[in-house]
């Protein structure tokens, strides 16, 4: 049994109690008052004769339902790492209020446009006010039971770690949670402490799961040690997602065709060569697929096929239009055809070129396991790490891919979608 010692560079002070505005219940109640009740009252003041109209009541209930759904979605999504409220406030509000409006249109129920529009605007403004006034100032503090493999937490900086000197709930009273290595041989008094903490309603994390949650990666040592539970991800969601991918591709195709045509013309005028780049890549279950992209580079002149398949930083082969397409990820749009053919998904690990996949499989253990789900146009590794090529970088990318497979769910896909939009706007990780 080994007790871990953390180096503390300065004295730790207990944080102040959370302010009222930082509490979830207050935030939810405030959103209902501001985004549902206030528009109803404003409408009553401006047009008192319509106060008891069905449209007014449908608007207040619609706004309340949208706010409730958005709050639930945020609670579900924010359990994942690397997420800030600013990424998802507007998307979740747009999604839920849009869903309510679609429901009202389909059912042909009367509704108040002013109240619904005002409810959406006030809902978004309230959430941003809460974030900038309170949430962004909060830094989580987690109490550490100093036994076992908890030293892996010291390199994670977005949390303040309080190493417990004794098994006392009083010492951990101002911490948001407690973390321990359940596989360690804990002394009886520390085991009793963890049981008491759970009975008292305190959150107690296992160190491995907490480390994965904060880093967004699954560390690769031995596949059996990664606590996957099952090596196959949720099959029900796998098939549901495939169907939704196809339907979304069909729905978006009429909107994408003009954009695809415009990009094709720009590629053709910018440099000689084909408009579409085709390449054999490894897809679901290790099967080879041909993926389609807009050509962004001039032909490679290299005797090394593996090196030619890689894109270096400031690669001289990249064309002017290609640089813009790669930065905005618009070069990937032709892969909507791969989605329609059932070979790819909108979200998933990126498919690697066949020559690179063979190399990585020989260099990295369990690399082929990433093919257990369909490859995607965007993925968890892309929004966290960006483009990589060398083995050490691919090893880290594989940790992100394994995290995606382990926590395969619609909420993680939704988070990746929101962060992909940010990535497209900022050009993060492009080459």
pLDDT in tens, the chain (431 residues): 444 444 443 433 444 455 677 788 899 999 999 999 999 888 878 777 766 788 889 999 999 999 999 999 888 777 665 566 777 888 889 999 999 999 999 999 998 898 999 999 999 999 999 888 876 666 778 899 999 988 878 777 778 888 999 998 888 888 888 999 988 888 989 988 998 888 888 888 888 888 888 888 877 655 544 455 556 677 888 999 999 999 999 999 999 999 999 999 999 999 999 999 999 999 998 899 999 999 998 876 655 555 555 665 667 788 999 999 998 999 999 999 999 999 999 999 999 888 888 888 887 767 888 899 999 999 999 888 877 766 677 788 888 998 898 889 898 998 899 888 888 888 765 65
Q: How far apart are CA 208 and CA 134, in angstroms?
A: 29
CB-count burial class (<10 Å; 0-12, 13-18, 19+) for 351: buried
Q: How far apart are CA 273 and CA 9, in angstroms?
A: 59
**pLDDT for position 93:** 93
For 104, residues 6+ apart whose C-beta sits below 8 A from its C-beta are 58, 62, 111
Question: What are the extents of the domains in the chain?
Answer: 20-137, 141-215, 235-426
φ/ψ of residue 94, rounded to 5? -60, -45
Could you give the 3-state DSSP secondary structure of residue 161? Answer: strand
**pLDDT for position 392:** 73
Nearest in space to 172 (alpha carbons), one of 190, 157, 151 = 190
pTM: 0.74
**pLDDT for position 157:** 72
Alpha helices, H only, 149-234? 188-199, 207-215
* Strand 141-144, strand 177-180: pairing: parallel
**pLDDT for position 61:** 95
Burial pattern 250-262, b for ≥16 Cβ within 10 A else e, equals: eeeeeeeeeebee
How far lies 244's CA from each of 240, 285, 307, 308, 398, in Å? 6, 20, 36, 35, 26
């Amino acid at each position: 049994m080994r007790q871990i010692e953390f180096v503390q560079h300065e004295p730790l002070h207990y944080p102040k109690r959370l302010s009222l505005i930082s509490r979830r219940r207050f935030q939810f109640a405030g959103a209902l008052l501001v985004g549902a009740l206030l528009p109803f009252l404003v409408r009553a003041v401006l047009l008192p004769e319509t106060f008891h109209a069905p449209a007014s009541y449908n608007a207040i209930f619609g706004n309340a339902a949208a706010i409730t759904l958005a709050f639930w979605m945020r609670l579900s999504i924010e359990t994942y790492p690397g997420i800030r409220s600013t990424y998802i406030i507007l998307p979740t509000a747009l999604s839920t209020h849009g869903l309510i409006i679609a429901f009202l249109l389909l059912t042909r129920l009367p509704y108040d446009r002013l109240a619904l529009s005002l409810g959406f605007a006030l809902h978004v403004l309230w959430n941003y006010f809460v974030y900038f006034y309170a949430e962004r100032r909060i830094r989580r503090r987690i109490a550490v039971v100093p036994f076992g493999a908890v030293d892996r937490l010291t390199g994670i900086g977005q949390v303040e770690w309080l190493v417990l000197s004794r098994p006392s709930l009083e010492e951990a009273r101002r911490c948001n949670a407690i973390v321990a290595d359940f596989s360690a041989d804990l002394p009886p008094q520390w085991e009793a402490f963890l049981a008491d903490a759970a009975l008292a309603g305190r959150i107690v994390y296992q160190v491995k799961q907490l480390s994965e949650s904060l880093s967004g990666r699954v560390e690769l040592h031995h596949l059996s040690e990664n606590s996957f539970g099952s090596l196959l991800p949720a099959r029900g969601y796998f098939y549901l997602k495939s169907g939704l991918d196809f339907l979304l591709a069909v729905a978006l195709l009429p909107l994408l065709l003009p954009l695809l045509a415009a990009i094709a013309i720009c590629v053709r005028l910018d440099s000689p060569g084909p408009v579409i780049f085709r390449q054999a890549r490894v897809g679901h279950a290790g099967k080879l697929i041909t993926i389609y992209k807009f050509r962004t580079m001039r032909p490679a002149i290299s005797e090394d096929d593996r090196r030619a398949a890689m894109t270096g930083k400031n690669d001289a082969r990249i064309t002017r239009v290609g640089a813009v397409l790669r930065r905005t990820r618009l070069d990937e749009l032709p892969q909507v055809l791969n989605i329609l053919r059932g070979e790819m998904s909108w979200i998933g690990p990126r498919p690697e070129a066949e020559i690179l996949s063979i190399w990585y499989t020989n260099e990295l253990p369990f690399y082929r396991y990433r093919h257990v789900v369909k490859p995607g146009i965007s993925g968890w590794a892309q929004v966290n790490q960006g483009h990589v090529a060398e083995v050490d970088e691919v090893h880290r990318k594989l940790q992100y891919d394994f995290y995606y497979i382990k926590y395969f769910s619609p909420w993680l896909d939704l988070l990746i979608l929101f962060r992909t939009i940010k990535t497209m706007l900022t050009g993060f990780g492009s080459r």
